[in-house]
Structure 1
Amino acid sequence: MKPVVVTGTPRAELDTVDALAGHGVATAHEAMDRTGYLGTALRPIQPGLRIGGTAVTALCWPGDNLMIHAAVEQCRPGDILVVTTTSPCTDGLFGELLATALRVRGVRGLITETGVRDVAELRALDFPVWSAAISAQGTVKATAGAVNVPITVGGQVVRPGDAILADDDGVLCVPRAEVARVLAAARARVAKEEAARQAFLAGELGLDRYDLRSTLERLGVRYLTAEQYAKETG
């Protein structure tokens, strides 16, 4: 890893990111052909929040949050800080003081594969955080890493300026060049789901709406009365 802080990185158009975030992670994930999900390990420390923004990335060494401090300077309104380490680490790399610094700069939240601490204070600040762990274990500030370089989170590549969406369903990364296309696909999906919702409210079954009866037949699923089943299995 080359120790570097990259400045002036281009971002996805924030208005488009905001519109996409409004549809939620699950819908956007489906609209992206089920790609970009950062995995089940990242969970919110406070439920019920939904955020979207543009990624500033920080690559740290385990037990060392030096590069998070360097990343704060590169953040601007609408950003979301995304943090990982060079090898697995659940130490509390982030807490209330760093959240205060980020809020002043208009940062919308933190996504980290590490741990966080000061959880009560973070909740009181209403600063959104998705993390892999909660840990009181502190850190040092001694080892150079990198800021605004591509990183891997949950097996997915996150590049600076990509769109980040997060809610109770998890975290999604949408490549910067794909945001407008994914938004259009998400809107189409929402319209399709609303039509299905109305049909279900009217009593229609998914088996009929999605032509699943033919699928069951193709898979050899048989319909038997209770008496027939008892006779065949008795």
Structure 2
Amino acid sequence: MTTNFTTADLIDDHGDTLRSCSTQFRGYGGRPGFGGPVRTVKCHEDNGLVKQVLNTPGDGAVLVVDGGGSLRSALMGDMIAEAAVANGWAGVVIHGAVRDTVALGRLDLGVKALGSNPRKSAKEAAGRLDVPVTFGDVTFVPGEWLYADEDGIVVNAEKI
């Protein structure tokens, strides 16, 4: 989705109907502002489900990955991110780490994560798909709408 918004303006216009994520993420992708319907993965140091999901049509969605805040291994690198771009995902928010950060910055994909680590994660596809996940004082519910830019992340029950 083309960004015709800023999260600050969305908060000004919609106030308390929006939920603002208090977790301080870093931007790694080449698309600083992004938004779309939420899909989720809940996993811990295992990116198998992340890879599976991002290799399916995204239709402009944003994948929210609750990696439990672990920075011990990366849940996404350049190859998985390239698949996300090819499959039409708007962005990925990872409550955990990424790797290949220079390459991520060249991709037309929104990427927010807590940090980076070159270590690969497990590939067992352990975790849960499309369940509500909570971090940063926000519960991310599949089907709701996420908007992100350099100022942060906001979520609304429906498209704004």
Classify the TM-score, shorter chain: 0.7 to 0.9
The Cα offsets for residues 134-193 of structure 1, whole Å up to 9 and x where unpaired, read as 1112211125211111111312111111111111101111113xx3xxx4xxxxxxxxxx
Gaps of 5+ in 2: none
Q: What SS class does the counterpart of residue 90 from structure 2 fall into? A: coil
Within the candidate set 70, 73, 79, 1:89 is matched to 70
Larger radius of gyration: 1
Q: TM-score with structure 2 length normalisation?
A: 0.87
The Cα offsets for residues 49-86 of structure 1, whole Å up to 9 and x where unpaired, read as 2111111111112x21122123225542211111012x
**Alpha carbons 1:115, 1:135 under 8 Å: kept:** yes
CA deviation after TM superposition for structure 1 residue 46, in Å: 5.2
More strand by share: 2
Q: What SS class does the counterpart of residue 94 from structure 1 fall into? A: coil
Within the candidate set 100, 109, 128, 1:146 is matched to 128
Q: TM-score with structure 1 length normalisation?
A: 0.61
Amino acid across the alignment from 1:158: F
Query: Between Structure 1 and Structure 2, how many residues are aligned?
Result: 158
Which consecutive segments of 4 or more residues in structure 1 shift more than 4 A?
A: none
Aligned-pair identity in percent equals 25
More helix by share: 1
Matched residue, 2:41: 58
User: Relative contact order, CA 8 A, sep 6+: which one is greater?
Assistant: 2
**Alpha carbons 2:64, 2:93 under 8 Å: kept:** yes
Considering only aligned residues, what root-mean-square deviation do their CA atoms show, in Å? 2.2
CA deviation after TM superposition for structure 1 residue 28, in Å: 1.5
Aligned counterparts, 1:5-24, within 5 A: 22-24=4-6
Aligned counterparts, 1:1-234, within 5 A: 22-30=4-12, 31-33=14-16, 35-45=18-28, 49-61=32-44, 63-73=45-55, 75-85=57-67, 87-90=68-71, 91-142=73-124, 144-176=126-158, 179=159, 183=160
